[in-house]
A and B are shown apart, each in its own frame.
Chain A
Amino acid sequence: MSVSSGPPAIAARGLRRTYNVKPTKVVALDGVDLEVPPGEFFGLLGPNGAGKTTLIKILTTLLLPSEGTARIFGFDVVDDVKRIRRIMNMVAGGEQSGYGILTVREQLWMFSQFYGLSRDEGWKRVDELIEAVGMGPERLQRVGTLSTGQRQKMNFARGLLNDPWILFLDEPSLGLDVAAARAVRELVTSWKAAVPGRTVLLTTHYMAEADELCERIAIVDHGRILAIGSPAELKKRVQRESIFRVEIDHLDGGPGSLAALPGVVSAAPAADDDGPVDRQSVTLNLVLEEDGVLGGVVVALSRMGSHILALRKSEPSLEDVFVELVGRGFSDEDGPVESPPAHPTDPAEPHEPVEVA
């Protein structure tokens, strides 16, 4: 039986999770239904407090659902805990795990032992992964002296130690510079592509990251999934017209001459057209009823003696999708769910200090 014909990598039904934050209950997940087939790179996109991390913690067996069920490759997150832990791994952004006194190599080897790799197999695997994440020069450096980016690369290496069938990435690019983020993205996509059925669940704030990596995305807010689909499908939901950006060498009749064409909703100079004042070329934003209208526009421009210098279709961003669905941007927080609770560890114990040895 191939992996793809087996049970879904993730199947959640009516998943609900509440926390007791005295004097009220906070609903972190509110009836989540989700199915991710094996082999998919799936993204959860949402603002802080949307419930992404709660969902990941339930799926990684670290948290029990208040209601509903969840299965990983057919294994129940409540009853089949050990089996799930043998086939998964997780990496979180800003993770400070491990012991500062160990070197990068030793720290990774220690974790390899927790996954049952033999002593020598562990060292070999660690050395391979250190090279893969580009930490060769830091391999003998103490973990306590690593920068945030180096630390996160090491965490990625830790996440791949056991070759999991499903990898949970919770805001993994947090704190990484552009080059480091690109390097770990390439590593994860290469790793996933190497074996059919390997699945990745990614939560992220970064729209571009979700757009680039994920085959499907769920937009989450207030503990609910508002929409699921491929990035293109989600964008299509908010794109009722076709928008093109066209640069032409000159336009004798002005934008109005195009706006009068059948199927053209509007034609206006691009707001960011900051070219030299004395040049003749113009950049226009064309809003068309549908893509097919573009042919008529091109023919009309040709008749007017204008030449097209550049033509690009404008896509809505995932943020546009989010704003359309939620009615606010990612950074606009409101309501009790977005506000972090007074206590970050155990909501039932509101004044526990967080001390780091």
Chain B
Amino acid sequence: MSLYEHRRTASPAAAAEWSRRQIVMTDLRSVYGRAYPRMSGMLREPSWMFFEVLLPFLATSAFVFVYRALQAPPQYVGFVVLGGALTAFWLNVVWMMAGQLYWEKAQGNLELFFAAPMGFMAILFGMAMGGMVMSSVRAIVVLVVATVVYGVTFEVDQWFLLIAVFLLTLAALYGLGMVMAGLYLVWGREAFQLNQLFVEPVYFVSGLNFPVMSLGLLGALAIATIPLAVGLDAMRQLAFVGSPFPPGTPSVEVEIGILIAMAIGFTLFARVMLAALERRARRVGSLSVRWQ
């Protein structure tokens, strides 16, 4: 084989017919391919240590000192630290999932993604996988630093369940991120403003710094609809066993059920929406910024 005959096939018709295995392998490779820039980028831009570790740590610290001043139960410091660690995931979902297709389109990547033979969901999964790895590192750093500095004591009976809930939370969060990515592209404008809208209000109703059911009906609504709220609440119940939670807090089992439903529902919805999005984009000509 020469440079010019790398993957020589008998005919275009033969080259166009792919086996099931080829299709699946291409999708899996595409997931890794798209995750790669995020994972390698993490090592090349050390400035994230300042912006995504130190700044969330400071915000978390403020609440720690408030709780200490109010002589709140010591577990509340742990609640805040756990919430602070999870901010990395929500920021990543909003800025690097929801808004991402919008930037990809502006850079000319979107039409190249669509023109390639892999399924587009592979690109979204790749974005999600890369984001999860990137954010997990950041979350762990925040968690470890805050735990050491403020002397948080975890009381975990079921480590396996805690890890499972964490992974389910990520699946639901990034499923929502995929849905938002499609919606942003359909709306096609004001991504920055939408992102701002989705950060602080979601932090608040998700109970990032306090048990979410302290918000009463609003907290219950958040548990039913926002992966961050339900996942964080379930993780707090598992990481700080025996802690005081507000009345009406759903059991961990119920919250796991909600997370599973969200993970499946959001992913399926994202898939359906992407197909619709591609049809619409091909119809109106909005996959790229060039027009002639």
Complex Cα distance A261/B116, Å? Answer: 64
Which among A246-254, A276-284, A291-299, A346-354 touches the partner chain? A346-354
- CB-based contact A96/B189 at 8 Å: no
Say whether B71 faces chain A, with CB atoms less than 8 Å apart: no
Complex Cα distance A190/B33, Å? Answer: 29
- CB-based contact B283/A86 at 8 Å: no
- CB-based contact B33/A345 at 8 Å: no
Q: How far does the Cβ of B42 sit from chain A's closest Cβ, in whole Å?
A: 10
Interface of B is mostly: helix
**Residues of B with C-beta under 8 A to A82:** 117
Complex Cα distance A158/B198, Å? Answer: 36
Say whether A111 faces chain B, with CB atoms less than 8 Å apart: yes
Q: How far does the Cβ of A78 sit from chain B's closest Cβ, in whole Å?
A: 9
Say whether B148 faces chain A, with CB atoms less than 8 Å apart: no
- CB-based contact A95/B7 at 8 Å: no
**Residues of B with C-beta under 8 A to A340:** 291-292
**Residues of B with C-beta under 8 A to A348:** 284, 286
Say whether A311 faces chain B, with CB atoms less than 8 Å apart: no
Contacting residues of chain A (165-218) with chain B, CB-CB under 8 angstroms: 165-166, 190-191, 193-195, 197
- CB-based contact A6/B13 at 8 Å: yes
- CB-based contact B105/A345 at 8 Å: yes
Size of B's binding interface in residues, CB under 8 A:
60
Which among A116-124, A226-234, A302-310, A319-327 touches the partner chain? A116-124
- CB-based contact B292/A52 at 8 Å: yes
User: With A6-B12, A101-B40 known to touch, is A113 a contact of B30 (CB < 8 Å)?
Assistant: yes
Which among A58-66, A236-244, A262-270, A328-336 touches the partner chain? A58-66
Can you offer 30 A-B residue contacts whose CB atoms are under 8 A?
A: A19-B291, A51-B292, A54-B292, A60-B115, A61-B114, A64-B283, A73-B12, A74-B12, A74-B13, A87-B15, A90-B115, A95-B108, A97-B107, A110-B37, A111-B33, A112-B33, A114-B34, A116-B29, A116-B117, A117-B29, A125-B6, A128-B3, A129-B3, A163-B9, A165-B15, A195-B5, A349-B189, A353-B189, A355-B102, A355-B192
In addition to A86-B117, A96-B107, 14 A-B residue pairs with Cβ atoms within 8 Å of each other are A57-B111, A57-B288, A64-B282, A64-B283, A82-B117, A83-B16, A88-B115, A89-B115, A96-B108, A97-B107, A116-B18, A191-B3, A343-B291, A348-B284
